[in-house]
Amino acid sequence: MATYNFTVHTGDIYLGGTDSNIFLQLQGDLGKSFMFRTNGHIKGNAYERDQIDKFSINLEGDYGDIHTIYLKSDCMYAGSGWFLDYIKIKKEGSNIPKGYICA
């Protein structure tokens, strides 16, 4: 089991935030994680305009160097669009990020 730390920045544009549930899956050179809901790991109102959200999650394995992130929205609630600026991923205990994805 490995703990991954995520930093997600929602961009600073009009209606850039979302109230929808955002799901994420990691794929690296050592395998692929399950798809998990991120909102429940964030305190407060997640994914608001020009906001940085941080959360950690324990995943069942080490996926190596992350090369792909799959994102999915359930498009629920008003304002279901989302302007993702970037996601940073770092495996706990590592000094170098496992991934840095710009949208």
**pLDDT tens, position by position, 55-93:** 999 998 888 888 899 999 999 987 789 999 999 999 887
Of 34, 15, 19, nearest to 75 by C-alpha is 19
Q: CA-to-CA distance for 17 and 59, rounded, in angstroms?
A: 26
**pLDDT tens, position by position, 22-43:** 999 999 999 999 999 999 999 9
Q: Is 81 exposed, middle or buried (0-12, 13-18, 19+ CB in 10 A)?
A: exposed
> Looking at residue 79, what is its pLDDT?
77
pTM of the model: 0.85
pLDDT band at 95 (very low <50, low <70, confident <90, very high): low
CB under 8 Å to 54, separation ≥6 — which residues?
5, 6, 7, 8, 42
**pLDDT tens, position by position, 41-64:** 999 899 999 999 999 999 988 888
> Looking at residue 60, what is its pLDDT?
87
Q: Identify the structural domains of the chain with CATH numbers, from first to last.
A: 2-102 (2.60.60.20)
